Structure 1
Amino acid sequence: MRAVRLEEIGRVDLVDLDEAVAAPGDVIVQTIATGICGSDIHGYTGENGRRIPGQVMGHETVGRISGIGAAVDADRFPVGALVTVNPVIVPVEDADRYAGREQHDPRRRIIGVDPTIVSAFAERYAVPAANVVVLPELDNPLHAALIEPLAVALHAVHRVGVAPGQTVLVVGGGPIGQSCVLAALRAGATRVLVSEPHAARRAVCAALGADVIDPAGISIPEVVRGRTGGQGVDVAIDAVGTSATVSDAVQSTVLGGRVCLVGMAHPELSLDAYRISTEERVLVGSFTYPAKTFAEAARWVGEGGEVFDALISEVVAPERADEVLARLARTPDVPAKVLIRFSPDRADAEGAS
């Protein structure tokens, strides 16, 4: 079977691997398409140290069940069903202890991150049945590849407590920032502002309903206060993760406001602690999601909606994976998500470009 493998830092190749084999409790997923995550790009460039040569990455995916292990209930996981996969794997013996907070299990494994797991940049791969979410048939099955980033955004919105009637700033209008815009609006935010330097991404955020800001040569906190009657926003979400973006997020909130750090651009940050302590702001981190939030995102996409079309910029064949990853590493000025499609799913689907 074909798979896109990280051969060395800065290069992936399309290779042939042995067929995926299901353990008794596993499901074999036939990949339709898998999104390229920012963490995949950082793994490709070696920036984050969380990917190693020889592994098959990929965790934002949609596919169909092509086989099941001997212990899997065929009625719950019928062959041919449209599915997505929750990448957070918790050992069976830890399931009860970490129920509702699976991402806190120190023994968790992440599909697409753990180098021992052949992941979703492959035609077929084996995953525990507990991580497979069966979906309704969708008008556009590619939307299901957005469930994972939407789950990231929903968890961030839950963590920071976005409530109806509030104003929200999202710093960074890339794919996660775009998902955060939709998640904040879904939570009842009356206004979402987005700071994003790239015009194409600002256009996507504006189409999603955000009030966009070009941060070039300006003070984001001053602009935010100017657009909110001098008050600032109730909540800010940093979808970038640098010292400068955290500072903008903190300073753009009202006194007592809340900030969520979901971006992971830099592993270490400097922080104006007095802005947190003396002005009683709350700074929370957000990473992945519990299983219930992933299921919530799956239900959301299952409701359907053309809005999800705006979150997909490009669909490419796996033969172009190295070219595309190199381009994404070189410039972030790509409007939205890029998907690698391994197989068409509908008779009327266009071929991968």
Structure 2
Amino acid sequence: MSHQSLVLTHFNQFEVKERTLVELTGDSAKVKILATAICGSDIHGSTGSTGRRFTDQVMGHETCGIVEKVSPGSNSDLLGKRVVINPVISCHQCEICSSGKEYLCRSRKVLGVTKGIDGAFAQYVVVPTANLALIGDEVSSTLATAVEPLAVGYHAVVRADVKPSDTVLIIGGGPIGQAIAFACARIGVRNFVISEPSESKRKFILSFAFMSLAPSDLSGFFESSARPTVVFDAVGNAHSFSDAFKFSDIAARIVLVGMDSPDLAIPSYEVSADERSVLGSYCYTNKEFAETAQWLGANSQLVAPFISDVTPMRDAPEMFEKLHSGNFEYNRIVISQDE
């Protein structure tokens, strides 16, 4: 069947076009898309600057929809259910998948990112049923798109083995930094602060009742407060990575989540002499993704401001133009299929 999709026809250029939907194979489902968020990686990738998006691609990996059809032998109980989609498609057969780390599968593919795998900026998408997680009716379809970034934040906190007694610094107050803050609150961390240079973003972060400081205020703040035992770099450039070491305590865990720069210098003495640990964090397990969907169901009011704007798919090309201009303040924008 054909369906309408938002296609990256050329870098910096989108068109809503008819696209042929792939057939159901194996244990898979056809999902009617309700809403899909625009990730920062979609914005930067659509310029061609990251090398992780391609022309003639349908992007979109933070999504919510309704299961309309399943392949023969698949779980028919999913039919008609509202779901969120884990975009990391793994083989579920290798030793890595068997160990519960299927997001690190060597043959993984990512919906809307991997070339040839059409994503959810579309009316329909076909995905493995193993990648579906139920989402409660108390969560709107637009807010349900937040499950994916929230799962990124939760996995980072799990990866760092954060305890409620830890003191946490989050560098970067964008959606991923916010997601890490939600994860800290989720596990009971009381002492965490977000470093964010933008005054407007700091004011926005107050809508979640999270503490946020300008980077220039961190030195004074940590003179009268315990230094962080865990630092999350949700930016990933030379300046943010330097701050992670500058403000962390000895033996701290530094977790690199942001991907702004492909190469970063590590201050080796601050790692070896003070025994800091440097960890990478990328996606999440299927279990963490499904548990995050459940958590959002119980905390939808807290997370509600996370989605700042909604646009119908027909207007999505113009929305990407606004995003590329850099003159538009937003937090997370959702493309809705509900006209």
TM-score (structure 1 length as normaliser): 0.90
Structure 2: where are the runs of 5+ without partners?
none
Superposition pairs of residues 121-270 of structure 1, within 5 angstroms: 121-215=121-215, 218=216, 220=218, 222-228=219-225, 231-270=226-265
Q: Corresponding residue for 1:348?
A: none
Q: Corresponding residue for 2:305?
A: 310
Q: Provide the secondary structure at the position in 1 that maps to 2:20.
A: coil
Q: Provide the secondary structure at the position in 1 that maps to 2:144.
A: helix
Contact map agreement 1:232 1:253 (CA 8 A) in 2: yes
Please state if 1:33 is matched with 2:28.
no
Contact map agreement 1:315 1:341 (CA 8 A) in 2: yes
Q: Corresponding residue for 1:346?
A: none
Runs (4+) off by over 4 Å: none
Segment drifting more, 270-279 vs 280-289: 270-279
Contact map agreement 2:64 2:82 (CA 8 A) in 1: yes
Shift of 1:227: 4.9
Change (3 A) 1:10 1:227: farther
Q: Provide the secondary structure at the position in 2 that maps to 1:93.
A: coil
Shift of 1:58: 0.6
Q: Corresponding residue for 1:67?
A: 69
Change (3 A) 1:95 1:324: farther
Shift of 1:262: 0.4
Contact map agreement 1:20 1:28 (CA 8 A) in 2: no
Shift of 1:328: 2.6
- Tell me how far apart the structure 2 counterparts of residues 166 and 335 of structure 1 sit (CA, whole Å): 31
Shift of 1:94: 2.7
Contact map agreement 1:55 1:116 (CA 8 A) in 2: yes
Q: Structure 2 counterpart of 1:190, which letter?
A: R
Indicate the percent of aligned positions where both proteins have the same amino acid. Answer: 33
Q: How many residues in Structure 1 have an aligned counterpart in Structure 2?
A: 337
Shift of 1:162: 1.6
Structure 1: where are the runs of 5+ without partners?
344-350
- Tell me how far apart the structure 2 counterparts of residues 333 and 275 of structure 1 sit (CA, whole Å): 39
Q: Corresponding residue for 2:290?
A: 295
- Tell me how far apart the structure 2 counterparts of residues 156 and 328 of structure 1 sit (CA, whole Å): 27
- Tell me how far apart the structure 2 counterparts of residues 61 and 145 of structure 1 sit (CA, whole Å): 5
